[in-house]
Amino acid sequence: GQQVMQIPQYQHVQEGEDFTTYCNSSTTLSNIQWYKQRPGGHPVFLIQLVKSGEVKKQKRLTFQFGEAKKNSSLHITATQTTDVGTYFCAGNSGTYKYIFGTGTRLKVLA
Amino acid sequence: DAGITQSPRHKVTETGTPVTLRCHQTENHRYMYWYRQDPGHGLRLIHYSYGVKDTDKGEVSDGYSVSRSKTEDFLLTLESATSSQTSVYFCAISQDRGDGYTFGSGTRLTVV
């Protein structure tokens, strides 16, 4: 069945450093979504990518969808303490179901 | 998010007892989902619904059943709880199947 892997599992950065998490699917995706979950909270939808090679930006966050639509990345420029949390990708292969990656837990050291 | 609520927020139950978790939405969204979250596994889909009385299985449906008799309510039942079902359970909703999900605040279930 479809699998979605994320790396790294954990990342500790100094405040102001950049951060990137990568998402890889075993199958070609129709689209991919990204979520953020703060410690003790619930996942919150950030963005959806649909087109091959698509790049979207939200302030300091840059999201990319691979040309083959099997991978994606989230890059945060100049991290802040408010960026702390776990970032999940979720891939859809054209069904009702999104398969979530295992997540990358980001810790920002002030 | 105010449009989706889960109950109870916390529950401790004994092995072998039935447990029902409730998800209630006020957004009139068609799609509803139940996920469980465990360390090292991320979020795994248990069951989902694409309309009243229309449900289907997800990745980890064994030991769980669901019902949706009204648009606003999606119930998850553990017929006979086991310790492996100790987890945090999240309900999610979406207007359309390609939309981003809105998650509830979760139910922390402990089976002892």
pLDDT computed for residue A97 by the predictor: 80
Residue B66: C-alpha distances to residues A70, A75, B32 (Å): 32, 38, 11
pLDDT computed for residue B41 by the predictor: 83
Q: Which of residues 28-87 of A touch B (CB under 8 A)?
A: 30-31, 33, 35, 41-45, 47-48
pLDDT computed for residue A88 by the predictor: 97
Using one digit for the tens of pLDDT, what is the confidence trace for A39-92? 999 999 999 999 999 999 999 999 999 999 999 999 999 999 999 999 999 998
- Write out chain A residues lying below 8 Å of B102, CB-based: 45
Q: Cα–chain-centroid distance for residue A44? A: 12
The yes-or-no verdict on residue A94 having pLDDT over 80 is no
Whole-angstrom Cα distance, residue B13 to residue B109? 8
Q: Determine how many CB atoms are found less than 10 A away from the CB of residue B44.
A: 17
- Assign A105 a pLDDT band (cuts: 50, 70, 90): very high
HSE value, Cβ hemisphere, 13 Å, CA-based, for B23: 32
Contact A102, B41 (CB under 8 A): yes
Instruction: Please tell me if residue A92 touches chain B, with a CB cutoff of 8 Å.
Output: yes
Instruction: Please tell me if residue B106 touches chain A, with a CB cutoff of 8 Å.
Output: yes
Nearest-5° angle of CA B97, CA B98, CA B102?
75
Using one digit for the tens of pLDDT, what is the confidence trace for B70-100? 999 999 999 999 999 999 999 999 998 788 9
pLDDT computed for residue B94 by the predictor: 94
Using one digit for the tens of pLDDT, what is the confidence trace for A17-53? 999 999 999 999 999 999 999 999 999 999 999 999 9
Residue B7: C-alpha distances to residues A52, B21, B91, B103 (Å): 40, 6, 10, 13
**Nearest CA to CA, how far is A15 from chain B (Å)?**
26
pLDDT computed for residue B39 by the predictor: 85
* 8 Å CB contact of A1 and B40: no
Using one digit for the tens of pLDDT, what is the confidence trace for B8-52? 999 999 999 999 999 999 999 999 999 999 988 889 999 999 999
Whole-angstrom Cα distance, residue B52 to residue B40? 33
Q: Of the candidates B58, B55, B79, which has an alpha carbon nearest to the alpha carbon of residue B67?
A: B55
The yes-or-no verdict on residue B1 having pLDDT over 70 is no
pLDDT computed for residue B2 by the predictor: 63
